[in-house]
Chains A and B, each alone.
Chain A
Amino acid sequence: MKTKGIVTGIISNLVTIEVDGPVAQNEICYIDLSGTRMMAEIIKINGKEAFVQVYESTRGLKAGDKAEFQGHLLEIDLGPGILSSIYDGLQNNLETMKGVFLTRGEYTIALDPDKKWEFTPFANPGDEVFAADWLGEVKEGWLPHKIMVPFSFDGSYTIKSIASAGEYTVNDTIAVLSNESGESVNVTMKQKWPVKLAITKYRDKPRPFRIMETRVRVIDTFNPIAEGGTGFIPGPFGSGKTVLQHAISKQADADVIIFAACGERANEVVEIFTEFPKLEDPRTGRKLMERTTIICNTSNMPVAAREASVYTAMTIGEYYRAMGLKVLLLADSTSRWAQALREMSNRMEELPGADAFPMDLPAIISSFYARAGIVNLNNGQTGSVTFIGTVSPAGGNLKEPVTESTKKAARCFFALSQNRADRKRYPAVDPIDSYSKYLEYPEIIEDFKNRIGEDWVEKVLRGKNIVLRGKEAYEQINILGDDGVPLEYHKRYWKSELMDFVILQQDAFDKIDANCPMERQSYMYYLALDICESEYEFEDFEECGNFYKKIINILRQMNYSLFKSEDFNRYQEQLNTELNNGK
């Protein structure tokens, strides 16, 4: 018997319901508004009164309207067909919705029930299996999509029968399992999972031990993110958060990209689903859209679903991770999610924390970031969810609660600076404030040794120091004037400018420069560092500036040329000549 209730109070999308039976925290209910069923979630219970946040507009709702509780939390469907879909925060398929406008109470099915998938079984009757074990696979685009024992299954199961190779829909039974007490259970290619709970059916979660290439130099070279790692990008408006996130999503070395557009501009989502079907994945040559899922809850869509959208995205990420895939999850922006929490907390008249955000905001953020990670699956393979969120700090001030809470949770900090954006130095990642904790991980240092060279990380730190010393020199030059400082200061300044222009800056709109593989990054970085660590003699500061300007220009031309192409080599020779002249 489902618990029922009666609406007793309404403030915007916070509704109180008097219930006639047991209900659970975060349980889902449907409120009946003259025949329209509106989804809502319990966020607080007080005696007979349940406080629910409604995922729709509550216009027209009245005291006395009926509600029915569903006995489960907010869950989504997991199965083949998720990739290249565009969902809202509750996993409704936006493509199959009718009408130009979103209609209240219109919920669409996430996975196409009629589509046939070519299934290949792995397991055999008689096998003992556990939750998340692979029973077989289907091809989803070019990706092998594993069909797993549902995550919700506890204990050991024996396979009674498994479907032979052939075409099946997501609702067809592909295996019959029997549990420890001998009861049979049918398994289909589709399973459900509550989004607010992490999927933990893996053997263990080691420390991240290898990097994830994004082909963005300021990240890979200076502040690398580990596969299964976490990072965040705070920045004021206009500092290029979205362009940077789009660049990462296009180029990152991942099998699956999940993009959660959480409370941001609708036109930016339009850009993704207009461009991604045309863009090629530089690694596989397939269209980017084939490996991408968009969870879209733009700023004008109901606020409560905004909070759900990041959890929906994370759950889908964990699902693909359990298949042994590399998943990259991007959320733009987690501040909007925090604001959604603030709105609800405010309506429930909770005592506020800093800037009126709820007191438990840091805990919520850090437990969300903790769901990312690389894992060893039960079958010995690895899978990963790498998470990068953006933060939109109010007034561009990084001392606000969302940025500070996220800083405690995320291991990489890519701070976008207004100052760099104003000077058109893109990506505007501040080289001094930003950091990657992974550079300190012995596992990651080892990974770089094998990938690039023995002394890579040590050299990166030397490069960072050049940038820092350059900034200090620049400040002195500004105070004392060009003539007022020793020539050495000008040298330091220009060396840091060289690092800035050649390594840190990257043209996201240039086909070649935008997409810079690690091999090329290390080549250019060694070259740049070598120049910075060589000594050249100059008569005065003007000669010094002119020399480095010339060098920077040639190095930039190299960045714009195909790696090791004729043009590239020609610039390389030009560079050598100039450097020899300088000696």
Chain B
Amino acid sequence: MASKAFQKIYTQLESITKATVALRAQGITNEELATVDGRLAQVVKIKRDLITLQVFAGTEGIPTNAEVIFFGEPPSLNVSEDLSGRFFNAYGDPIDNGPKVEGENRFIGGPSVNPYKRMQPSEIIPTGIAGIDLNNTLVSGQKIPFFADPDQPYNQVMAQVALRADVDKIILGGMGLTNDDYLYYKQVFENAGALNKIISFVNTTEQPPVERLLIPDMALTAAEFFAVDKNEKVLVLLTDMTLYADALSIVSNRMDQIPSKDSMPGSLYSDLAKIYEKAVQLPDGGSITIIAVTTLSGGDITHAIPDNTGYITEGQLFLRTDSDTGKVIVDPFRSLSRLKQLVIGKKTREDHNHVMNAAVRLYADAANAKTKLENGFDLSDYDLRCLDYAKDYSNKLLSIEVNINTTQMLDTAWELFAKYFTKTEVSIKEEITEKYWKN
């Protein structure tokens, strides 16, 4: 965000808080950018000539006579094909030592797509992970978060999903990434040789938290350029949205707003929805799909952040380590993709829905058998077979290490059915069973 000619400069601050400064100035527009003592800031409140600015990098060391320069414009990003393969910070400035990106200058956080102009999502996004493709199929234009505890390998899984997904562009919005995770992403993307289709906007834990607020809008402005202007299939990864929401609460607190549940701002739902609803299937073939990460504290999904997220997104994915096999799996019970009904059995083989349900039901029976075992009850022959099946199912399908296509997943499931169960126990519609049962 370069400085421009004819800028207004002020040098007298009226008040300073930890995140904001206020000064008297004329003709200032809402949400426009400024620098305060060289730090980027944005107008958040106007009261006649008293202007309150939110300083992204924090106000430590800012003197009352700091130089304030107004830009006359809200935050923006230069968009063009040259964004591909590049790494940027929260302001859209390169951090990979490359040149500045030339292109059309667009304001970030733009308007919403007219709901009437949306198409119903109908394209499957295969990832090779059966816990997703088989049980919780992703659809282009969908928005779905991973609900994960901080100790789970969600960043690794996201990177894997991104690289396997059949899309034209991948845009990473990293909020509060540790430097290690940032370097991990960078390395994985470079090693995969897929760098030219990846664009990253990164705010690490070493940078001020309030800067994070710009990341999703930056990432989605780039995504809209490729999806709307270039009709491309774009996958946006946002990690970690909990840290984004935390930054929101910091700002609202500094602005003396009354907090609602879990000390989050009352507008949390709208703030999150504005981001997630950018996911869209457009009429001309372009699409934006959002996969996000919301870290939980102690698995609590009733906290305001995951709770509001759950009401906005189209399902959620839970990661879990299966103690029987030691593999990280996508939990088949708690995960849900709301849009899967639009594609399974239609874009995939006809038996998909039946196989998915039967496989999960048998896995549930295994869970019951396990409880019985733990409580010291005798196990029936069926219980024992369920337990063996569960191990195989976990290893050959649920594990995130598995990378096969949907048809192979279905065939694998039928093999497991035949190996451990009778046709009646699997209890799938007769005509389907006759066609696919593995003898």
Residues of A bordering B, CB below 8 Å: 8-12, 57-64, 86, 94-95, 97, 99-104, 236-238, 263, 265-267, 269-271, 273-274, 296, 298-301, 303, 336, 339-340, 342-343, 346-347, 349, 352, 355-357, 392, 394-397, 422, 509
Contacts and interface: CB of A to CB of B under 8 A. Distances in A.
A102 B112 CA distance: 6
Given A60-B30, A101-B114, A355-B261, A266 B277 contact: yes
Interface string B97-141: 000000000010111111111111100000000000000000001
Interface of B: 27-32, 44-49, 74, 107, 109-121, 141-142, 228, 257-261, 266-267, 269-270, 273-274, 277-278, 280, 282-283, 302-304, 307-308, 310-312, 314-315, 333, 336, 339, 341
Contacts of B270: 263, 299, 303, 339-340, 343
14 contacts: A60-B29, A63-B49, A94-B116, A100-B113, A237-B310, A238-B336, A266-B280, A300-B274, A301-B115, A340-B270, A342-B260, A343-B266, A352-B258, A394-B304
Most buried by A among B48, B142, B283: B48
A340 B268 CA distance: 11
A301 B266 contact: no
A422 B142 CA distance: 22
Contact of A339 (B49, B112, B269, B277): B269
A298 B48 CA distance: 33
Contact of B30 (A59, A340, A346, A422): A59
A60 B76 CA distance: 13
Given A299-B270, A349-B258, A356-B261, 16 more contacts: A9-B46, A9-B47, A11-B46, A59-B74, A59-B109, A63-B47, A103-B111, A266-B118, A266-B280, A267-B339, A298-B112, A299-B277, A303-B267, A346-B258, A394-B307, A422-B333
A296 B115 contact: yes
A60 B267 CA distance: 21
Contacts of A394: 261, 302, 304, 307-308
A10 B47 CA distance: 7
A12 B255 CA distance: 12
A330 B313 CA distance: 21
Given A58-B30, A237-B311, A395-B302, A336 B111 contact: no
B31 A59 contact: yes
B113 A101 contact: yes
B48 A9 contact: yes
Contact of B119 (A236, A270, A303): A270
Nearest to A392: B311
Contacts of A58: 30-31
A355 B121 CA distance: 36
Most buried by B among A100, A104, A356: A100
Nearest to B302: A395
Contact of B302 (A97, A270, A356, A397): A397
A274 B46 CA distance: 43
B266 A395 contact: no
A238 B267 CA distance: 22
Contacts of B278: 300
Contacts of A62: 27-30, 46
A451 B237 CA distance: 56
Most buried by B among A10, A263, A342, A422: A10
A303 B273 CA distance: 11
B118 A346 contact: no
A296 B266 CA distance: 22
A269 B115 contact: yes
**Pairs A-B, 10 closest by C-beta atoms:** A395-B302, A299-B273, A300-B277, A356-B260, A237-B310, A94-B116, A10-B46, A59-B31, A300-B112, A62-B29
B277 A298 contact: yes
A128 B55 CA distance: 68
A271 B121 CA distance: 9
B266 A346 contact: yes
A356 B259 contact: yes
B120 A274 contact: yes
Contacts of B333: 422
Given A62-B27, A339-B270, A397-B302, A95 B116 contact: yes
